[in-house]
Amino acid sequence: MNIETINQTTLPLGQRWGPVSVRGGKTRFQLWAPAEAAVGLELDGADISMQRSEDGWHIVDVDANIGARYQFVLADGTAVGDPASRLQLDNLDGPSLIVDPDSYCWRHSEWSGRPWEETVVYEIHIGALTTEGTFRSAMAMLPLLADLGITAVEIMPLAHFPGTRGWGYDGVLQFAPHNAYGSPDDLKAFIDAAHGHGLMVFLDVVYNHFGPEGNYLGRYAPGFFRKDAPTPWGAAIAYEKPEVRSYFVENVLYWLQEFRLDGLRFDAIDQIEDGSDVHILEQIAVEVRKRVSDRHVHLITENPANGTDLMEEIAGRRHYKADWNDDFHHAVHVAVTGEATGCYEPFKDDTWDQIRRVMAYGYLRPGKGIFSDNPPPTEALPPTAFIHFLQNHDQVGNRALGDRLHLGINRQLYRALTEILLLSPQIPMLFMGDEHLSLRPFHFFSDYNGEIAKAIRENRPKEAENFGGIPSGRSAADIPDPNSMSTFLSSKINWNQAASQGAMAWAEFIRKLLALRKESIIPLLETAQGYAGKIIEAPDQCLFIDWKLGDKILQLRANLSDADVTLTTGLGDFVYPAATLRDEFLRAHVVELYLK
């Protein structure tokens, strides 16, 4: 059997991972299992021999029907699912299913996406967004989000993970949308519907480790993982191997092409080590640009190491559009809550100055490059290279009680923070429920048993200490058990609450802010360049920031103190709030916006 060679920097001409149709109407089944002398295919109860190549691939071409069940059988008789399964019959240990990639009929095939500058992100967990917790039920929320002014929905990871509920960052089968949420066609219907409402859809992907349960790759392909560089969550991935590279590059293209997603968010990329001549993250960006060139596609990172090289503009393009900027969240959180332990401790000194710097320049501290020894300084990046947020799944879900920021601080102060978030030139992100001031917590939840469940449960107090600690009068015993069904159910959004008078008033406030952003700020962002931000001297607990955006200067003046302060001179035309007359004072807990 002719099996083409893969080098370290390019994809093979044909698909290597997962079932694929070949000539003669047959289906090719393929598994990279170099540690196995022989691998069999069990297809709808029939046992079929596979041919082994010198490079460890086991391949067979056979007749197979859509919906057929299949597993690979190792030499000792152990049956394992396909690591590139498109859908599981039941759980991780069960059979994989043959899926027709062309069965869904797209209604909005003309969709070409939206420019990055228009992005306003709304992060969701499919299982917790609605009572039903499915792709189909989530579709009902799309008109509400579009009407609000949201332009992009970001979905927490979907790769099939252990059990039926979880955050998804312990995924094992990277190509298989978790069947607890519905079928692949259901996911396509959700994305299609979003496009019909003018919404982009981004997906979180986790390429730094695999989950601790249900992963058999290390058994038959031990070279898939590195033994010398564990991540905090498990064995690191050996990206130096061409078979491993092809798995993940194919996975990226699978999500973007077959599901027509508008972008991907890459989780914790500081834990992706690659000693190849071309870093895997660079190769991914190049392949995406080459293979998906007919529409807007946006690649986003979460990079705690604050590296800037992935977002550096080269020949008029950036490999990755933006990074989740924890520095903004952490500095703001310390300033308004007083919590200054764990991950917040580095932000406890000169907090307001840190907020000013992060808003004007980007990261607070120089970062470590991914593939460059000389990454550009943070201020060289445009403001749109940073995604800002007041909370997200991590910042809420890792707290002891999963409580949201607006429940712990003065409402007028939270209102001002929201104005700052949505009226600054950085890309804003809301967490599901933020638009109606949800009273529901969002907990860390999972579906494990035995020792893993025990370890997760015992680790929650440590995580809580890192995210604000355990509230006064409470103890570690009050932290909900992540593996309890009640913990998951209590994290679901209560949409009945969104219909209350106060919730609707807040949603209208968000709607007006996003309408103003669309009218007055987004048109300036296309020409935004680096070195845009400038800190204007301001009293304590005030943020006076100017950004040069093309030939205009956007001027934010925010007073988060309890006293009125004198405004600086040299302000442009008054933009926000429209009902306020400009005077020489900036009132307490008030945000104003000018354009010069």
Q: Which residues contact 166 (CB under 8 A, 6 or more apart)?
A: 445, 446, 447
Q: What is the 3-state secondary structure (H, E, C) of 536-549?
A: CCCCCCEEEEEEEE
Domain tally for the chain? 2
- Sole residue written with tokens 């699978």: 254
pLDDT at 4 over 50: no
pLDDT at 316 over 90: no
Average pLDDT value for residue range 351-376: 92
Higher pLDDT, 71 or 234: 71
The domain boundary residue, chosen from 97, 132, 165: 97
Question: Is there a domain that residue 354 lies in?
Answer: no
Provide the residue range defining the domain that includes 74: 20-97
Question: Is there a domain that residue 444 lies in?
Answer: no
Cis peptide before 577 (omega within 30 of 0): yes
Question: Of 117, 267, 339, 435, which is the active-site residue?
Answer: 267
pLDDT for 144 equals 97
Question: Is there a domain that residue 277 lies in?
Answer: no
- DSSP label of 36: -
Question: Is there a domain that residue 27 lies in?
Answer: yes
What φ, ψ does residue 429 adopt, rounded to 5°?
Answer: -135, 135
pLDDT for 365 equals 86
Question: Is there a domain that residue 551 lies in?
Answer: yes
Question: Is there a domain that residue 431 lies in?
Answer: no
Respond yes or no: is residue 192 known to be catalytic: no
CATH number at residue 32: 2.60.40.10
Question: Is there a domain that residue 58 lies in?
Answer: yes
Q: Mean pLDDT across the chain, nearest whole number?
A: 94
Average pLDDT value for residue range 337-354: 95
Distances (CA, A) of 12 to 15, 249, 415: 7, 10, 52
The domain boundary residue, chosen from 50, 79, 97: 97
Residue pLDDT, tens place only, 264-298: 999 999 999 999 999 999 999 999 999 999 999 99
Respond yes or no: is residue 267 known to be catalytic: yes
pLDDT for 373 equals 84
Q: Mind giving me the DSSP string for 144-210?
A: HHHHHT--EEEEPP-EE-SSS-S-STT-SEEEEE-TTS--HHHHHHHHHHHHHTT-EEEEEE--S--
Average pLDDT value for residue range 355-360: 98
Average pLDDT value for residue range 6-13: 36
Q: For residue 447, what are its two tokens?
A: 């579906």
Residue pLDDT, tens place only, 65-120: 999 999 999 999 999 999 999 999 999 988 999 999 999 999 999 999 999 999 99
Question: Is there a domain that residue 239 lies in?
Answer: no
pLDDT at 12 over 60: no
- Alpha-carbon gap, residue 558 to 155, rounded angstroms: 32
Higher pLDDT, 65 or 231: 65
Residue pLDDT, tens place only, 132-146: 999 999 999 999 999
Question: Of 61, 154, 204, 302, which is the active-site residue?
Answer: 302
Task: Report the predicted TM-score, pTM, of the whole model to 2 decimal places.
Answer: 0.95
- For residue 232, the tally of other CB atoms under 10 A from its CB is 8
Q: For residue 278, what are its two tokens?
A: 């071309």
pLDDT bucket at 5, cuts 50 / 70 / 90: very low
Average pLDDT value for residue range 471-498: 96
The domain boundary residue, chosen from 97, 112, 130: 97
pLDDT bucket at 372, cuts 50 / 70 / 90: confident
Helix pair 326-337, 411-423: axis angle to 10 deg: 160
pLDDT for 313 equals 84
